[in-house]
Amino acid sequence: MTDTELASDLVVYAARLVRAVRRELELPAGTRVISLLDQYGPLGITQLADLDRCSQPTMSAAVSQLVEQGWVTKERNPDDARSSVITLSDAGRDELNRVRRRHGERVAELVAAHPDLTTDDLATAVAVLRGILSEGSS
Amino acid sequence: MTDTELASDLVVYAARLVRAVRRELELPAGTRVISLLDQYGPLGITQLADLDRCSQPTMSAAVSQLVEQGWVTKERNPDDARSSVITLSDAGRDELNRVRRRHGERVAELVAAHPDLTTDDLATAVAVLRGILSEGSS
DNA sequence: AGATTTACATAGGTTCCCTATGTAATGTGG
DNA sequence: CCACATTACATAGGGAACCTATGTAAATCT
């Protein structure tokens, strides 16, 4: 199997995993946003859109929803009145932890059902996905 | 890092990969369907919906579109007039190969941009995702 | 035969995401 | 310092991919 074939399979199976998890657990778009804020700290709308690889209007809408839910705060940037600063709230961090635990438990079940998959294998899979996505944006 | 934490990360990064690829390449829902037909041979609507983990109406609509595009054929099942038999056409198989090649090339580029990721790592990641998804449906 | 189940179609609605475009604030060249 | 481009967002309008609820016709069961 070539790298190209493997890479193709990676996309297909990644898509199926996401669909399978979403069916049972709900994986709202907002989760990705608060995950990014947790990882990078406070950010503006456009920065978030770039990191999440979505359009700026999409991120605007997502942030509005998160503000309504109380999971982030949105303030004017004192250094640049055009932009905003989106900050993860404590409630948002709690939500993030809850979602992560739910997802983790569910997928960990699936992993546990396959004894031939070791923790090392799992760690490698995560490293591959994360590596692929780091900076390889264009 | 525990298995649960790793599993949680796996979901997050899988979701980001799918989004990243979809942004550049288009990963239409129909691709999954013809991929399933390629893997399992001719199937009915409900069987396809179960395999794709989507609802039956969703699969009905997806198949209708694929028929219009000429990538599958839909015939009445001679053994059971209620059901249909969806079959991958030659054009559909060509399309599948084209899509796979595009996805593979794009992700292979991303992989190539990270020399610390070996082919073995990639193969492990694919094996983990496929393993997780095999039969672990419920 | 009547009732249930199965396979699919249709209706209506939600979520997520896009492009196009407007607006206000910030830099920039003459 | 004033017109102009650029940047950061917001708004408008629309499309794709899902869902649940429900209807219909064929197969199966009692």
pLDDT of amino acid B39? 92
CA distances from B100 to A59, B16, B35 (A): 30, 19, 10
Q: pLDDT-based confidence at B5, cuts 50/70/90?
A: confident
Nearest to A14 among B53, B111, B129 (CB): B129
CA distance B74 to B92: 13
| Cα A109 from chain centroid (whole Å) | 21
Strands B72-77 and B80-88: antiparallel
Integer Cα distance of A60 and B137 in angstroms: 35
User: Which percentage of chain B shows pLDDT scores above 70?
Assistant: 93
Which bases along strand D come within 7 Å of a protein CB atom? 7-13, 16-21, 25-28
Type of residue found at A36: L
What is the DSSP-derived secondary structure letter of residue A43?
B
Looking at every residue in chain A, the average pLDDT score rounds to: 87
Strand D contact residues in chain B (15-74), C-beta within 7 Å: 28-30, 53-55, 57-58, 61-62, 65
- The residue behind tokens 């996505």 is A133
> Average pLDDT in the A19-42 region?
84
Closest listed residue to residue B103, CA positions, set A3, A19, A135? A3
| A36 pLDDT above the threshold of 60 | yes
pLDDT over 70 for what percent of chain A?
Answer: 94
Chain B residues with CB under 8 Å of A125 CB are 10, 124-125, 128-129
B34 contacts B73 by C-beta, under 8 angstroms: no
Q: Cα separation of A101 and B53, whole Å?
A: 23
Residue B31: burial class (beta carbons within 10 Å; 0-12, 13-18, 19+): buried
Chain C nucleotides reached by a protein CB under 7 Å: 6-12, 15-20, 24-27
pLDDT above 60 (res A87): yes
CA dihedral (B7, A105, A64, B54) in degrees, to 10, reads 90
In this prediction, residue B23 has a pLDDT band, given cuts at 50, 70 and 90, of low
Rg, Å, chain B Cα set:
17
For CA atoms B16, B20, B26, B32, give the dihedral sign: negative
With 90 as the cut, is the pLDDT of residue A94 above it? yes
Alpha helices by DSSP H, chain B: 3-25, 29-40, 45-52, 56-69, 90-112, 119-133
Which pLDDT band, with edges at 50, 70 and 90, does B70 fall under?
very high
Paired with A77 in beta bridges are A80
At residue B79, the 3 state secondary structure works out as: coil
Q: What is the pTM of this model?
A: 0.81
Chain segment A98-130, per-residue pLDDT in tens = 888 888 887 777 778 888 888 888 899 888 888
- For position B111, what pLDDT does the model report? 78
Q: Pick A62 or A53 by higher pLDDT.
A: A62
Categorize the per-residue pLDDT at A55 as very low, low, confident or very high, splitting at 50, 70 and 90.
Answer: very high
